[in-house]
Amino acid sequence: MTYETILTETRGKVGLITLNRPKALNALNSRVLAELVAAVTDFGSNADIGAMVVTGSEKAFAAGADIKEMQALSYADAYTQDFFVGWEDFTRTRKPIIAAVAGYALGGGCELAMMCDFIIAADNAKFGQPEITLGVMPGMGGSQRLTRFVGKSKAMDMCLTGRMMDAQEAERSGLVSRVVPASDLVEEAVKAAAKIAEFSLPSVMMTKEAVNRAYETTLGEGLRFERRLFHSLFAFEDQKEGMAAFAEKRKPNFTNR
């Protein structure tokens, strides 16, 4: 697929995807969605890639779903085309994806960041769910994921008033894992992804699966799920290698076997 709205590159074992619709502040239209899903699927099946970073520009990660594309839709169009259903494919990616957010992450942009595994924010990042100002409401998971990240009171505040949250508030509230200077954002996110990509891929993928399970099940079921995955990692050579390397005071050489 030839990409028109994103740029992709590899940095060592990291797949870097940059949203690239600068004139529309990276608004997410159906082309961006198709290209993003294609890119994460491609990196997902590339044995040389261990983790990914999705980023935008310094002004905007993404200013939302493309309002101009949605504007004229009828209910019948919106329902029958279900034109955002592809986002579920994005969330099915098994390798970790870090969102590196600078500038605006609004509406679908904030929701895309939350679909990633964690968010590193630049100090100029602004998050919000302003759909209420357009006469609609979050439609790509904002009412659900934001509530799980920041709790009911703040999620209600964000979704009902449409106000933006700056990077410091986002970090205090648990929406983002760290805040870095805007000039270092991509480098820091790639560094974090490269760290993850050094580890044994099966343990990385199972860790992602287990943390995500915490959002979908009870504590008891989640703990049992975690224990089964933990036990299963003893079937991998990488468990022997990782523990031997610790005992022998050397770096492990993981083979994903």
Q: Provide the binding-site residues for ligand CO8, judged by CB under 6 A.
A: 24-25, 27, 63-68, 84, 104, 106-108, 130-131, 134, 139-140
Of 60, 65, 102, 113, the catalytic one is 65
Q: Is position 111 annotated as part of the catalytic site?
A: yes
- Count of C-beta atoms within a 10 Å radius of residue 235: 10
Tokens for 26, please give them.
């990276």
Q: Pick between residue 10 and residue 161 the one whose CB is nearest to ligand CO8.
A: 161
Give the closest residue to 85 by CA, choosing from 17, 152, 37, 41: 37
**Least Å from the CB of residue 137 to ligand CO8:** 8
Q: Pick between residue 15 and residue 107 the one whose CB is nearest to ligand CO8.
A: 107
**Least Å from the CB of residue 252 to ligand CO8:** 43
Of 35, 60, 103, 111, the catalytic one is 111
Q: Pick between residue 77 and residue 209 the one whose CB is nearest to ligand CO8.
A: 77
**Least Å from the CB of residue 138 to ligand CO8:** 6
Q: Pick between residue 24 and residue 39 the one whose CB is nearest to ligand CO8.
A: 24
Torsion of CA 45, 39, 96, 164, to 10 degrees: -170
Q: Is position 131 annotated as part of the catalytic site?
A: yes
Q: Is position 248 annotated as part of the catalytic site?
A: no
Contact 156, 136 (CB under 8 A): no
Residues in the chain: 257
Q: Is position 108 annotated as part of the catalytic site?
A: yes
Q: Whole-angstrom Cα distance, residue 41 to residue 91? A: 11
Of 108, 128, 141, 142, the catalytic one is 108
**Least Å from the CB of residue 132 to ligand CO8:** 9
Q: Pick between residue 84 and residue 236 the one whose CB is nearest to ligand CO8.
A: 84
Q: What residue spans of 48-181 are helical by DSSP H?
A: 67-70, 75-81, 87-91, 108-115, 142-150, 152-161, 167-172
Give the closest residue to 110 by CA, choosing from 72, 140, 151: 140
**Least Å from the CB of residue 219 to ligand CO8:** 31
Q: What residue spans of 99-251 are helical by DSSP H?
A: 108-115, 142-150, 152-161, 167-172, 185-198, 201-213, 219-232, 237-247
Please list the active-site residues.
65, 108, 111, 131
